[in-house]
Amino acid sequence: MSGGVFSKLDPDIITFHILPHLDGKTLIILSSVSSQFHNLICSNNNNNNSENLWRNICISTWPSLAITLAVPDFKNFHSNVISILPGGYRTFFSDAFPSINSPDLNVINHPPSPPYLIRFYFASDMFLRGQPQPFASLRGTQLLHTEYAPHRSVPECIAFRFGMNHQKHKLKNFIKVKKQGIEEYLKQNLTFSCVVIETKETKRAGSLFTPGCKPVEVKRATSGRVVKVIFETLLPSLSNFYTQMIKCRTKVYCYWQGDAEDKFCVGCVSSTFKDMNGKRLWERDAAIIILNAIINGERKNKQN
């Protein structure tokens, strides 16, 4: 490290006592300062210090990456999913932390046609403002069939829909929330993130909903026990069969367990893709749109 106070420090001091206290965005900037910093932050040669550094940063941003599920691909999420990405957690952070913005529709490079089957992994986290721990963390996987072209005669069962059920997770978190004014409370305080990972065709990740995303609408069911929190984002459709933009609409279903107010939790998350006229997307088109977001989506750093 040429010049400066860091050139006088032992590399172990930097690795174990300085770098772990920096956030991921700062680390990416610092890695471009010099080859020495790049090696300390990005290289996995001969040790796992860099991978552990990025793993801790990713898990602090997306706690859902650390949950344990009794699903084959999730029993060891690191070896089955994250380690397949070139650069592991560092690549995951670089892909997933910036928000994906819709590229110019006139200069889109279409992603390759998806294979007959393609699997996406999803990781979602919900936080309440002022709470250090996540309100809910969920992971799920979706295997999409892509052999059908959109046609009215194709059965509705292959229309794209994705869900994650919190009943299957042991980390359900109960909090105390008053029923009166719950709609405004969640709209002001609940944030949502959702990362999608593809490990075969692209070996990349992308944020459909970047950390800190706020709901566009909160509805309370007639029964009074269930509250539906809605998040939305827009993506290019890439098909004349739909409108130019597609709306990804995600609903987070929360409820009180029992009649008291001290056990409020997340039950499930459900996502659908529709065009601006309300037409549901088929699985093939949803797969292409997700791949395009991962490959061609313009990454923009969030403003502090």
Cα(45)–Cα(172) distance, integer angstroms:
38
In a domain, 140, yes or no: yes
In a domain, 128, yes or no: yes
Confidence of residue 221 (pLDDT cuts 50, 70, 90): confident
Q: Is 93 helix (H, G, I), strand (E, B) or coil?
A: helix
Structure confidence at residue 283 (pLDDT)? 84
Structure confidence at residue 300 (pLDDT)? 62
In a domain, 110, yes or no: no
Exposed / middle / buried, residue 181 (Cβ in 10 Å: 0-12, 13-18, 19+): exposed
Q: List, as one string, the DSSP characters of 105-154.
A: TTS--PPPPP-SEEEEEEEEEEEETT-SS-SEEEEEEEEEE--PPP-TTS
Please give the average per-residue pLDDT across 121-149, as a whole number.
Answer: 84
Query: H or E stretch including 89?
Result: helix 88-96
Are 14 and 49 in contact by the 8 Å Cβ rule? The answer is: no
Structure confidence at residue 163 (pLDDT)? 80
Domain count for the chain, please give it. 1
In whole numbers, what is the pLDDT of the chain averaged over residues? 80
Confidence of residue 31 (pLDDT cuts 50, 70, 90): confident
Q: Is 255 helix (H, G, I), strand (E, B) or coil?
A: strand
Structure confidence at residue 3 (pLDDT)? 45
Structure confidence at residue 7 (pLDDT)? 60
Parent domain of 179: 117-296
- Which pair of structure tokens corresponds to residue 253? 């279903």
Structure confidence at residue 304 (pLDDT)? 41
Q: pLDDT tens for residues 157-208?
A: 466 778 877 654 445 678 889 999 999 999 999 999 999 999 988 899 999 9
In a domain, 106, yes or no: no
Structure confidence at residue 303 (pLDDT)? 46
Structure confidence at residue 28 (pLDDT)? 77
Structure confidence at residue 112 (pLDDT)? 60
Confidence of residue 270 (pLDDT cuts 50, 70, 90): very high
